[in-house]
């Protein structure tokens, strides 16, 4: 299987050509010119603020985040996957979902391997997949097989034309505009947080599970603080 070609970030801060696809190229294009730290700070903050605002506008209009939450709540089992940098977003969502929902599994390749998950996909299962450029092969392959087996795929990606967006039943498009040499995680983290919150608000038994979780946490003395 060949890798999905990288597509330009529609929110790229660079002008006059396609957005560089690799971090080292972006470093050369954006940070090679000498500037004071205060100028760079202003530029970074402006881009992060604008990107977050544009992502918020988009999800308010298209309703995809609410649709994604509804699919997660309705599912019997919930799987979350992401490769490379996206594995951090996947872990964040899985942890937050587990606080209010049962049967949440992070497909990390260790405790839960893709091959094991794909051998037992059911029609009431949902896979939440994170895929951002440069689009790791395994995430795309697992999402494709999961959908083919009858499960529901919710995609969180940066391009409405990405492979994940095209195959997902619900595709949440998140901007990753950045003035840095790495694409921005700001809107991705915000969308992940909001998705977990919308899901918890709609899930039956979420309050009871959260209360019991606090009791267990206290009994096990997991934290020093209250």
Identify whether 18 is part of a domain. Answer: no
Identify whether 25 is part of a domain. Answer: no
Identify whether 184 is part of a domain. Answer: yes
What residues form DSSP beta bridges with 58?
none
3-state SS assignment for residue 196: helix
Query: What CATH number corresponds to the domain at position 152?
Result: 3.40.50.10490
pLDDT at 213: 75
For the beta carbon of residue 115, count every other beta carbon within 10 angstroms: 9
Q: pLDDT grade, residue 9 (50/70/90)?
A: very low
Q: Which region holds residue 63: left if phi is over 0, alpha if psi is between -120 and 50, else beta? A: left
Q: What is the mean pLDDT of residues 97-104?
A: 94
Q: What is the mean pLDDT of residues 172-201?
A: 93
3-state SS assignment for residue 177: coil
pLDDT at 207: 72
Q: What is the mean pLDDT of residues 185-201?
A: 96
Identify whether 176 is part of a domain. Answer: yes
- Say if residue 1's pLDDT is above 50: no
Residue whose tokens read 């003035």: 179
Identify whether 84 is part of a domain. Answer: yes
For the beta carbon of residue 97, count every other beta carbon within 10 angstroms: 24
Identify whether 113 is part of a domain. Answer: yes
Structure token digits, residue 60: 């308010």
pLDDT at 26: 58
More confident of the two residues 17 and 14:
17
Structure token digits, residue 12: 């790229």
Identify whether 154 is part of a domain. Answer: yes
Residue 157's domain comprises 38-220
pLDDT per residue over 23-39, tens digit each? 667 555 566 666 678 88
Could you give the number of structural domains in the chain? 1
Could you tell me what percent of the chain has a pLDDT over 70? 84
Task: For the full predicted model, state whether its pTM sits above 0.85.
Answer: no
Identify whether 94 is part of a domain. Answer: yes
pLDDT at 3: 41
More confident of the two residues 85 and 12:
85
Contact 9, 133 (CB under 8 A): yes
């Amino acid at each position: 299987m060949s890798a999905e070609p990288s597509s330009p970030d529609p929110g790229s801060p660079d002008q006059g050509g396609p957005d560089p696809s690799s971090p080292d190229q972006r470093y050369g294009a954006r940070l090679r010119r000498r500037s004071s730290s205060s100028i760079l700070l202003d530029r970074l903050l402006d881009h992060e603020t604008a990107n977050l605002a544009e992502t918020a506008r988009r999800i308010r209009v298209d309703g995809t985040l609410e649709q994604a939450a509804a699919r997660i709540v309705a599912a019997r089992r919930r799987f979350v996957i992401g490769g490379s940098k996206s594995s951090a977003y996947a872990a964040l969502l899985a942890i937050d979902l587990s606080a209010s929902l049962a049967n949440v599994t992070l497909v990390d390749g260790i405790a839960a391997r893709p091959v094991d998950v794909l051998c037992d996909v059911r029609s009431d299962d949902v896979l939440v997949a994170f895929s951002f450029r440069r689009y790791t092969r395994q995430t795309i392959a697992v999402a494709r097989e999961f959908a083919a087996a009858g499960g529901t795929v919710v995609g969180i990606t940066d391009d409405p034309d990405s492979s994940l967006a095209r195959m997902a039943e619900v595709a949440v498009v998140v901007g990753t505009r950045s003035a840095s040499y790495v694409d921005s995680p700001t809107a991705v983290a915000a969308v992940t947080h909001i998705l977990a919150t919308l899901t918890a608000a709609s899930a039956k038994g979420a309050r009871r599970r959260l209360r019991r979780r606090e009791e267990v946490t206290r009994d096990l003395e997991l934290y020093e603080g209250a």
